[in-house]
Every structure is written in C-alpha cells, then in structure tokens.
Structure 1
Amino acid sequence: MTKRTVVDVDASHWSRGRRRGRRPLRAGGFGGLTAWIALALLVAAGFAAGGATAAASPVHIGIVQFLEHPALDAFRVGFIQAIEDAGYAIGEDIIIEYHNAQGDFSVSYTIAEKFVQDRVDLIFAIATGPVQAAASLTDTIPIVFAGVRDPVGAEVVDSFQRPGRNITGTTHWTPVSEQIKLVLEIIPDARRIGVVYNSGELNSVIQVEEARQWAAEYGLTLVERTAGSTTDVRQAAESLVGSVDVIFIPTDNTVVAALESVLAVAERFRIPVIASDIATAQRGAAAAYGLAEIPLGRQAGEWALRLFFEGRDPAPTPAGIQAVLDLAVNLEAAARMGLTIPEDVLERARYRY
C-alpha cells in the first residue's frame, strides 16, 4: 500500500514547519512558468504512456481552506483523489501541506503568505477568502481554487473564459432562481423565506442579492438574518421562528459550518430547510439543488496536474463551471421538519438520504 502523508495543520498551529523530507522543487527558482515547462519535459514521456512519472524531488502543494465543514472538506478530498488516481504517491511524489484558517480572513492571508515565503510549487485555495489572499501575494506561483462562487466578482480572475493571470479553478456557482423554484415546488404555500448568512462572505452576499431579486419575481418576501461567526448562527435562526415558512441556506461557509444549529431550530419548530449543495442535504436539510463538491475538487486536482506537470499556463485556462447540478432529498430530515416531499420531486432526485 502506498504510504500517504498529508501535513494537516489547523489555524492555531499555522506557523509549524512543513513536513521534513526531500527538498521540493521550487517553481519560483526557475522564474514562474519556465519551471512548469522545464518539469514538463522531464515527465512528458510518462504522460504520453498514460501513466505518471515521478519528479526527482517531491512537488510541494500548499492547501489553504477557509473553514472545515463537509462541503469544503469534500473539495479537498476530491483534489487529493485526482492526484492519487493519476498515479502520484502523496508523501513521495507530492507533499501536501494543509492549513485550516478556521473562518478567519486574516489567518487565510497569513497561511497564504507562509506558502509564498516557502515558495511552494502550487497553492490550492478552497473558498473565496483564501484565493483572494493568495492572489494578492503572488503572481508567479500557480494557484488553483475551488469553492468560489464568483471569481470575477472577487477580482481574482479577469473572466471565466480567460483568467488572465496565474490563477484558474472550479467555480461553486449555483442558480438561486432554481433553488427558489424548488422551495415553491416543495412548499407551494410558502410566502416568506428566511435566510441566514455571513455578510462578510462575498459569495453569500451575491447569493442573497440574487435571492432578493427572485423572491420579488415570485411575489415572495425574503427575511434576512446575518451571522458574523458560527456562534451567532443559532440565534440568527431562532430569530426567524414565527416569521418564515421555510429557511434557505446558501453556500455560506459560516452557516454551513454551524448547520446543526439551524437544523435544531428547524426541527424543533418544524420549519423546512432547503439548501444549495448536496453535502448539506446529506447532513440534514430537507432538500437541496446544487453542487456535488467532490467532482469539483477532482477537477481542480486535474487542473493542478496539468498546470505543473504539463506546463500549462493558467492565464488562458478557463475557470470551470459545473454544467450538471443535482437534486437531493433527505426524507428523514423532511419528516422531522413536518414536511412531505412531493412525488414528482422525489422522482427527479439523484440523491436520497
């Protein structure tokens, strides 16, 4: 069995040194893209033969994740799966150093700064804050992102089609219009939709703005509550009791990390919860229409391999938008919220929990 080594460091220990071992290749030492192209020449034969060829020294990938919760964790899992499936041994061919910012934007910056100072070969940034931090610190180290709804709005790429710099990745875009439609399919009498989000997360602000527009389009009222940290989420959810017919959860990292707080309120007061990603439905939302995170993480891992081992330039490499969104229902959770999922919705659901 291949030995697997991943350096796993949370924000409280972010300053701890990286895994000791063979000195990784330094992309910056060759001058940006030149390093990727030079290494590509060394491994091209392996790719042509359909298998991976290990570099003389291990590649050092730094992963910075905004917060730990199942949805963001799944991006990381998919990323590592893609590397392993390509034939590379974690801890031998590729060293992964992982840091969790624990929901703190300033810590995201500090972690990214450490990676730049260490001259890692590639940065994988999970969520908007980490990719903004990494992008502000380097224009030479390749950056791949996942879990970012609007990289253009976050000002880390010029466009989806042509990022224009050292960054590309997979977007966490979900159609709020379809999620509002799902609410009305499942709860036709709903008139007031509650939403809890962190107004400090750009991805959430964008989704709530869209939710306002679509709620108005359908003659609904959006009742908004903000939570600046995970400890604020329960109180925000409780403040919706008696004022809403359903709670909508966007892909907000703060709220999803404290999902159990929302679910406890929803189940106690029998308020259905509709979410924006599959992992949240699996954890206890009644239904969700959105993304499956592991495939997006895998796509990001594939981009990372192409950028480094094939010498691809990220500037013209399109940022991927998942074309297929999935419907998930959680029948047990729905029952606890006093909700019966309509049969036509059940028939369309790809995932049932």
Structure 2
Amino acid sequence: MISGKYVLMFRFDTRQWAVGLISVLALLASMSVAQAQQPKVVAVMAIVDHPALNAIRQGVEDELKALGWENGKNFRLHYQSAQGNTATAGQIARKFSGDKVDVIVAIATPTAQAAAAVTKTIPVVFSAVTDPIAAKLVKDWKPSGTNVTGVSDRLPLAAQVDLLLKVKPGAKRVGYVYSPGEANSTSMLKELKAELSKRGMNVVEAAAPRTVDIPHAAKSLVGKVDVIYTTTDNNVVSAYESMVRVAVEAKIPLVAADVDSVKRGAVAALGMNNHEMGRQAGKIVDRILRGTPPGAIAPETSQGVSLVVNPRAAERQGLKLSDALMKEAAQIVN
C-alpha cells in the first residue's frame, strides 16, 4: 500500500515533467517558425564580367523579382565573379557551399563545373553552358536525379554555317579562336569541323588559353581564312574588342554566336537573347526555392534565336551585307 505522501510526490513530479515537455515542444516550434522565416539565399557566380554574362545575371534577378522574390526581404542574392580565373571560381564555389546557400546559379561552364565539384547537396542551376553533357554536369537531357540542372545556350550549328555563307558567300576557310580549356569550345570545334566538311569547308583553329592570348591567336589567322567565327567562349568574348581590331585591320568579317558581341563590332550573330536566357534560369531557381528538387527538373535549352547585324562593322571589315540578310535581321545595330 502506497502512503498519501508518496502519491502526492508522484503527482507533483508528473506535473513538472508535463510542464517541461510542453516547454521543449514550444521551443522546437518557435525554432521551426524562425527557420521558416529565414530568407532564402541565392548565390550567383560567373566566370568573368562581360556584357553577355551580365545580361544573363540581370535576367535571373529580374525573373525572381517578377515571381515575388524581393532581395533583402524574402531572399538574399549574392554575386561574385571569378574574373576569368578558374582557380578563383573554385574558391568562390567552396565559399558558397560552406555558407550553405539555398541555390547556386553558375553562369558559364567553368563556374558550373566548379560548383558541381564542391557540393552534391546544394542545388546548382547552370546557364550559358553550351554542352552540359560534355562538361559532365549531367548525363543527358533528362532529369538528372542529382543536384544539377539548368539552361544551355546550345545553338543549331547548321544555321550558324548558313549565316557565315550569307555574310561571306563562297567562304571556304573559317577561322576559329577558342580556349582549349573550356569544354564548350572544344566540343563546338568538333561539331563545327563535321558541319563544315559536309559543305566542302574547313576550320582553321587558333588556340588561346588565356585572355591575353586572344590578339595573337586572331592575328595568326590573317591570310589563312575567309571569315572568323566566334562562339560563346568566355575568354574570347571578354576580349572581343581585340578580335574586332584584327578583323578591321585585315578586312576579315567577324561573325558571332553571341548577339551582344554585335554591338561590340561583330558583323552579325544568330544567337540567344542572353537576358531571356537568364529569366529562363530564374524560373528554375524559383521552382527549387518553392520545393521542387533540382534532380526532378530536366535541363533546358534557351528558347528562340534572333539575327542581329551591324552594317557599319561590315563596312569596316571590308564587305557590304546583302539586302536579303538585312531584311532577315530582327535587330540592326549601327
């Protein structure tokens, strides 16, 4: 038989335990609410600052704002450029991974590779990656099941060669300045060789491992080519004015895959709208922030291409654009 004294003590301890449990549950609930109220963090990294990549970054920011994400309120956006240095890109990627950001937006292949190498858990959304399969970011164009997805700027190559021939009818030798360390550029070189060979044309390649090598590589093509074609190679695009100077001096037309390069002196470009590509990537970021796993989102290609021409640049590079080509253009830059 239990005395009244001990029964009273048992009841007292039970009440204390219940009060303690309620306090713990309340604390956990408040912590969950606080975590839920923490603003999301989106970290954007680019291999270098140049007009095309800057337009993509702006597109990402504009789309997120349009979808209700206000920087400084319900999310925070951080940006860093590697200034053309792949080692720096790795450092930035490691910092963002260590900060445990919610999404990393990696603009251009080297930064996407750096981000994918340092984390297998934080979502990585790439943009301005021509061949994400060759870059080993994804296995194919299906949902990856990993932490990586994004938007490719891959272009129909046959249409690019058509443009070369519209700018320079009868061209046989196509100059190609590229960075051998950039997967996009080496992959495109192989495809360009195959496409040109179908038409009895050939590539004259000039490797430029660093930005400072671009002028020398371009000059090495003088007297050897009928036209120079530039892709979205970031080394080349970041030093585009040096390419233009060689084209003007040697009277060799310069045709680009990047429409923003036309404002900088290319004769013509059939390419993606970089700002819209950024907005497309922004839509993917929004889906991830709202709970969709990145591995459930298939990589996309940028939607739509437009022809931009620069007749004044054409004259400086020794030719006149045909009336037919001028009529095809969605935009004429002077």
- Provide the TM-score with structure 2 as the length reference: 0.87
Gaps of 5+ in 1: 1-37, 43-54
Contact 1:158 1:164 in 2 (8 A): no
Alignment of 1:1-353 (within 5 A): 56-309=37-290, 311-353=291-333
Shift in Å at residue 144 of structure 1?
Answer: 0.9
User: How big is each residue's C-alpha offset from its partner over 1:303-331, in whole Å with a ceiling of 9 and x where there is no partner?
Assistant: 1011112x111112111112421111111
The offset of 1:63, in angstroms, is 1.1
What code does the residue aligned with 2:328 have?
A: R
Offset at 1:82? 0.6
Q: What is the aligned-residue RMSD (CA, Å)?
A: 1.6
Secondary structure of the 2:146 match is coil
2:20 is aligned to none
Residue type of the alignment partner of 2:156: P
**CA-CA distance at 1:91 after TM superposition:** 2.2
Amino acid at match of 2:313: A
| Structure 2 CA distance for aligned equivalents of residues 172 and 90 of structure 1 | 27
> Secondary structure, in 3 states, of the residue corresponding to 2:62?
helix
Q: CA deviation at 1:244?
A: 1.0
Higher mean alpha-carbon deviation, 254-263 vs 105-114, is at: 105-114
What's the CA shift string for 1:209-236, capped at 9, x where partnerless?
A: 1111112111112111011111110011
Q: Distance in 1 between matches of 2:214 and 2:154?
A: 23
- The match for 1:46 is none
Query: Per residue, is there more helix in 1 or in 2?
Result: 2
Which one-letter code corresponds to 2:241 in the other structure?
E
Q: Secondary structure at the match of 1:283?
A: coil
Aligned length: 301
Report the secondary structure of 2:296's partner residue.
Answer: coil
Please say if residues 289 and 327 of structure 1, whose CA atoms lie closer than 8 Å, have aligned partners that are also in contact.
yes
Following the alignment from structure 1 to structure 2, what is the Cα–Cα distance between the partners of residues 243 and 156? 36
TM-score (norm 1): 0.82
1:33 paired residue number: none
Once residues 149 and 189 of structure 1 are traced to their aligned partners in structure 2, the CA distance between those partners, rounded to angstroms, is 28
Gaps of 5+ in 2: 1-31
Q: Displacement of 1:298 after TM fit?
A: 0.5
2:258–2:270 CA contact under 8 A, matched in 1 = yes
Q: By how many angstroms is 1:174 displaced? A: 1.2
The 4+ residue runs of structure 1 with deviation greater than 3 A are none
Report the residue type matching 2:72 in the other structure: G
How many Å separate the matches in 2 of 1:133 and 1:175? 27
CA distance in 1, matches of 2:318, 2:216: 22
User: Of the two, which has the highest radius of gyration?
Assistant: 2
Helix, strand or coil at the partner of 1:146: strand
Write out per-residue CA displacement over residues 35-72 of structure 1, whole angstroms, 9 at most, x where no aligned residue.
Answer: xxx99xx9xxxxxxxxxxxx722221111101111111
Q: Distance in 2 between matches of 1:174 and 1:343?
A: 25
Per-residue displacement from partner, 1:193-221 (whole Å, max 9, x unpaired)? Answer: 11100011000001111111112111112
Measured in 1, the distance between the counterparts of 2:218 and 2:97 equals 39
Q: Following TM superposition, by how much is the alpha carbon of 1:99 offset from its aligned partner in structure 2, in angstroms?
A: 0.9
Give CA deviations for 1:250-305 in whole Å, capped at 9, x if unaligned: 11000010000000011112110000021111221000111111111001111101
For the residue of structure 2 that corresponds to 1:185, the secondary structure is helix
Q: CA deviation at 1:340?
A: 1.1
Check whether the contact 1:194–1:248 (CA below 8 A) recurs between aligned residues: yes
Counterpart of 2:3 in structure 1 is none
